[in-house]
Amino acid sequence: MGRQPCCDKVGLKRGPWTIEEDHKLMNFILNNGIHCWRTVPKLAGLLRCGKSCRLRWINYLRPDLKRGAFNESEEDQIIQLHARLGNRWSKIASHFPGRTDNEIKNHWNTRIKKKLKLLGLDPVTHKPIEKAEKNDGDSSNKSNGDDQQQGIKLDDDEKLEGIELSLDETNDLFNSYQMLCESFDLDSWLNQDAANNTCSSSYSMEESSNKSSTGETNSTIGEDSLKQWVDSVDSFLSWDSFI
DNA sequence: AAGATTATCAACCGCCCGAGA
DNA sequence: CTCTCGGGCGGTTGATAATCT
């Protein structure tokens, strides 16, 4: 017996969100806040499931989102945190105000992984590939590195230190990584387009998210700041065109 | 210029976990 | 204690854009 689906998918819209749907969802959350995602689509007049609404809000509509390319220090920090936390993207994202777990996960999978491989480091273990392979061979009955990391059951962040990689070990690995980076100008090689990353979705929320980046959570974002943000983003989305 | 290939990222899927009945 | 439900998470997919041939 499988689990019941999160919602009745019959008649629900899927795929990319339209500007109108975004507007409806944002207006609803602005006016009512978030109490129960399951009821949000119905009350907001959307033919979406609650999960889809939640995802859209978290990954795209949230006022405190910081959009645009990751800078070098952010990337370095992601690598460091990944060495400690593994693929726990939400934990990693919690260290980056305005960044989403999805965004970090995508960045890791598309860019950082390649970068590490190019440097001869295993993106899973963060160790030199030859060494990592040897270790895998030594423990043929063990699951692969990914599974090992995912298999860690920890109660909280405090317990992370000393498990898998200690902070010292992590820093050692990270230092090695930095040394490798210095000897090879990867960034200019990989990020040739970073400087002129001007896609339409790179609208910066930084101004309106200054407050939130100091630790404010979604639920504590004041209505005023949310309204300010809606005002500021209105022109960006050209909502007037369909109202 | 056109087709093929690769990169990027938004969105979905399914599982897990905690809260509450 | 058990079951149900909703939220959250990580893995994966698919559409689109960018680049290459």
How is chain A split into domains, by residue range? 19-66+205-241, 72-190
Report the mean per-residue pLDDT for chain A. Answer: 65
Six token digits for residue A214: 């100091």
Taking 70 as the threshold, does the pLDDT of residue A66 lie above it? yes
pTM over 0.85: no
For chain A, what is the largest distance between any 2 Cα atoms, rounded to a whole number of angstroms? 64
pLDDT one-digit tens code per residue, A2-35? 334 456 566 788 888 999 899 999 889 888 888 8
Rounded distance, CA A211 to CA A207, Å?
9
Q: Let me know: does A182 contact A123? Beta carbons within 8 Å.
A: no
A50 CB below 7 A from strand C atoms: yes
The closest of A223, A212, A217, A228 to A31, measured between CA atoms, is: A223
Residue A13 confidence (pLDDT): 86
pLDDT one-digit tens code per residue, A36-58? 888 888 889 898 988 899 889 98
Q: What is the DSSP letter of A123?
A: T
**Which nucleotide has the shortest C1'-to-CA distance from A2?**
B14
User: In angstroms, how far is B11 C1' from A49 CA?
Assistant: 12
Contacts of A108 (CB under 8 A, 6+ apart): A78, A82, A89, A123
Rounded distance, CA A207 to CA A201, Å?
16
Chain A 91-130 residues in 7 Å CB range of strand B: 102-103, 105-107, 109-111, 114
Residue A68 buriedness (CB in 10 A; 0-12 / 13-18 / 19+): middle
Residue A174 confidence (pLDDT): 63
Rounded distance, CA A194 to CA A202, Å?
12
Q: How confident is the model at residue A175 (pLDDT cuts 50, 70, 90)?
A: low
User: In angstroms, how far is B16 C1' from A207 CA?
Assistant: 37
Selected residue with higher pLDDT from A111 and A190:
A111
pLDDT one-digit tens code per residue, A108-135? 888 888 888 878 888 888 877 765 555 5
Q: Let me know: does A215 contact A239? Beta carbons within 8 Å.
A: no
User: In angstroms, how far is B14 C1' from A132 CA?
Assistant: 31
Q: Let me know: does A125 contact A145? Beta carbons within 8 Å.
A: yes
Selected residue with higher pLDDT from A221 and A62:
A62
A211 CB below 7 A from strand B atoms: no
Task: List the Cα angle A137/A148/A81 in 5-degree steps.
Answer: 115
Cite the DSSP H helix spans in A95-222: 101-107, 113-118, 129-138, 145-150, 167-183, 186-190
Nucleotides of B under 7 A from a protein CB: 7-17
Taking 70 as the threshold, does the pLDDT of residue A178 lie above it? no
